[in-house]
Structure 1
Amino acid sequence: MMPDDPLSQLRDIHLPQAGGFWPPAPGWWILAFVLLACVAALVWLVHRRHHRNRWLRLAKAELADLERTAAKEPQWFTQLNTLLKRVARERYPNEHPEAQSGEQWAAYLLRHLPDDQMTQQPVVDALVNSAWQPVPSAEPAQALGFARTWLEAQKC
């Protein structure tokens, strides 16, 4: 080896060291931000839907209480009608359902059912009229069945 030979002073080819995992490349930062935004939007949507349907969960719980105390008495039918009016007021505030009674209220309930309105007509009429009759003409089981169906149709 000659000291003045420049080729003898060269070292072998060596590979560069592998990069570490930190800091990540810009693409990973963008992906992390997009995923975080998607998760935040999903949490917000679930929370909003849960909060929006809170009144429906409360109404179903109250309907379950009414089911336990079902009786063929006018005051029980009044409580059921009051529950349905509260739900209607919450779901359709601009229509002012709380001001309706009798045939208007029965027509309102039928109008906000999906498709099988005519099959429910006798049950709704009996439900509405049983609140003020001394001897109710409606059966509590049928009234509860209609109320359950009507509540399910009110989901947002």
Structure 2
Amino acid sequence: MEQNPLDQLRDIHLPESGGFWPPAPGWWALAVLVLIAGIVLVMLFRRWRRRTRWLVVARREMEHLARTRSPTPEWFAQLNTLLKQCARKRYPLERPGALTGQQWADFLLRTSPHDRIASRPVVEAMIQSAWQPRAATDPDRALAFARLWLGGQT
């Protein structure tokens, strides 16, 4: 019995797959990039939240003033105080806290996002109403301007 040398050969076997662990170096690099991008996004979001926290508080206070509106000098003084606090946060280099009267009105109109000419009588009356016994304007009109001005501060 003669043996055929080809009978002694085995079939071709493919190599075993490497599995999913450990990942290839490219996957490690991608994971590091995704981690860094996530950290950067969280830091940017936190910085943005810290910078705009005053706006959330101001809008909450504006809603409180809207619920308690009355044509009294105290109410108009509170509204002006709120606008000055917001102006100090938004425009710190211009020192709006020191402005009064016509300078304060001009500042509000200059930094107002819309309809500056039509808003002048309302702004001037709003500022005067904080010091006069009788309101020179309707609280709703003053609130409308304040909301418009505050809405442009984002």
TM-score of the two chains, using structure 1 as the length reference: 0.91
Structure 2 contact 113–148 (Cα < 8 Å) conserved:
no
Alignment of 1:54 onto 2:62: no
5+ residue gaps, structure 2, are none
Counterpart check, 1:70 vs 2:69: yes
Give the match's secondary structure for 2:76: helix
* C-alpha RMSD of the superposition: 1.8
Q: TM-score scaled to structure 2, two decimals?
A: 0.92
Partner of 2:148: 149
The count of aligned residue pairs is 154
Identity %: 54
Alignment of 1:1-156 (within 5 A): 10-155=9-154
CA distance in structure 2 between the aligned counterparts of 1:61 and 1:13, rounded to whole angstroms: 76
Q: Which runs of 5+ in 1 are unaligned?
A: none
**Which segments of structure 1 move beyond 4 Å, counting only runs of 4 or more?**
5-10
Query: Secondary structure in 1 aligned to 2:10?
Result: coil
What secondary structure does 1:72 align onto?
coil
Cα distance between partner residues in 2 of 1:47 and 1:138:
40
**Structure 1 residue 25 displacement after superposition:** 0.6
1:16 and 1:135, CA in 2 relative to 1: closer, same or farther beyond 3 A? same
C-alpha offsets along residues 47-92 of structure 1, whole Å, 9 cap, x if unaligned? Answer: 2111110000001111111111100001110010011001111111
